[in-house]
Amino acid sequence: MEDKGKTIVKQKPKPPEPKREDLSSRMAAALERLKARDDARPEEDDGARAAAAAAAEASYAQRVGAEVRGQWALHEELAERAQAEHLEAVVGVVIQQSGAVMKKWVANSSGNAAFDAAAL
């Protein structure tokens, strides 16, 4: 039998809900972008710390060098000979944080024992 008195109304289909996979992938992509941005920051901080450490090290080396030159005295005769012969000695020094000398040695001799001894 046919039902002529009833009207059939078609409803609009509901839009599909976003798939969990789409949401998950968008969230994962957003998280990766945030991680990348955060990872960039420590490098900047590390660079600033490295620059500050290098500056402090250079300053320390200058202060130590100035102190050594201020304390180093050569007899006039040895100083003239060192200048004439272009004597150069390389010394190694281990210094405590307090500034006390722990150990010192001639790392590269000038060839002149008196000059090397004076360098220490």
Residue 80 in any domain: the answer is no
Q: How many domains does the chain have?
A: 2
| Cα–Cα distance measured from residue 66 to residue 58, given in angstroms and rounded to the nearest whole number | 12
pLDDT band, very low/low/confident/very high, at 105 (cuts 50, 70, 90)? very high
What is the rounded average pLDDT for all residues in the chain? Answer: 81
Residue 105 in any domain: the answer is yes
Whether residue 112 contacts residue 75, with contact meaning beta carbons closer than 8 Å, is answered with: no
Whether residue 119 contacts residue 92, with contact meaning beta carbons closer than 8 Å, is answered with: no
Residues making up the chain, counted from first to last: 120
Same domain (yes/no): 56, 90: no
Output the pLDDT for position 50. Answer: 83
Same domain (yes/no): 31, 65: yes
| C-alpha dihedral sign at 28, 34, 35, 40 | positive
Residue 79 in any domain: the answer is no
Same domain (yes/no): 65, 29: yes
pLDDT in tens, 6-52: 777 777 777 776 666 677 778 788 888 888 877 766 666 777 888 88
pLDDT in tens, 49-85: 888 888 888 888 888 888 877 877 888 888 888 888 9
Look up the domain containing 92 and give its range. Answer: 86-120
User: Which position has the token pair 């976003």?
Assistant: 18
Output the pLDDT for position 93. Answer: 87
Same domain (yes/no): 62, 92: no
Instruction: State the CB neighbour count (10 A cutoff) for residue 82.
Output: 19
